[in-house]
Amino acid sequence: MKITGRSSSITNSFINSIIPVIEPTNEQVKSALAILGMDHDSFQCSYCGSIVSEWDHLRPLVLNKKPTGYISEIHNLVPACGKCNQSKGNRPWAKWMVSDAKLSPKSRGVRDLEQRMERLAAYEKWEKPTVVDFEAVVGKEKWAKHWANWALVQDTMRQAQALAAEINKKIADSYEKL
């Protein structure tokens, strides 16, 4: 295991920690589900139809280690199962759904794939999601400090990994001498 193997999780944490979560109204949830062809009794993964375990950001919050500007709100969230959410990651939903990616709807043989994609396309057009220029809102200095903290954490992880590798080697070498 590598300490630096968690660097994308750290990046996601630095971005997710600044993104507001806007709670939807009951009417917004009903409208969202109706567009997706669902209601309270037919609640399912928007991508494959399995049992819902979470809400997925249809448009990613993070791309290339930077925030996209989208926030967590009903206009950017769809019901999903863990398999689909994990497999999709931050890829564009339409390309991912028809890709051969492990656990994509196409690779899992979802039968009503085209209909699901049509509903998701309609959902995407339903309401324009909020996009925030975080740097403009908080100011250049505060924004730069946030990313300097991120860089410090990343550098500390690299240093910790180098030290851990040294320790690992020393312990392995001493084990061989026993």
Give domain status of residue 165, yes or no.
Answer: no
Give domain status of residue 139, yes or no.
Answer: no
Q: What is the pLDDT of residues 30-77, one digit of tens each?
A: 999 999 999 888 999 999 999 999 999 999 999 988 999 999 999 999
Give domain status of residue 42, yes or no.
Answer: yes
Q: What is the pLDDT of residues 107-158, one digit of tens each?
A: 999 999 999 999 999 999 999 999 999 999 999 999 999 999 999 999 999 9
The Cα–Cα gap between 43 and 95 comes to 24
The Cα–Cα gap between 173 and 178 comes to 9
Q: What is the residue range of 111's domain?
A: 19-134
Domain count for the chain, please give it. 1
Give domain status of residue 163, yes or no.
Answer: no
Residues pairing with 57 in the sheet: 77
Give domain status of residue 76, yes or no.
Answer: yes
Query: According to the model, what pLDDT value does residue 95 have?
Result: 97
Give domain status of residue 71, yes or no.
Answer: yes
Residue 155: both structure tokens together: 């550098």
Residue 125, judged by CB atoms within 10 A of its CB (0-12, 13-18, 19+), counts as exposed
- Kindly report which listed range (2-11, 48-57, 97-106, 120-129) carries the lowest average pLDDT score: 2-11
Give domain status of residue 167, yes or no.
Answer: no
Alpha helices in 17-100 (DSSP H): 26-35, 82-88, 93-97
Residues pairing with 70 in the sheet: 131
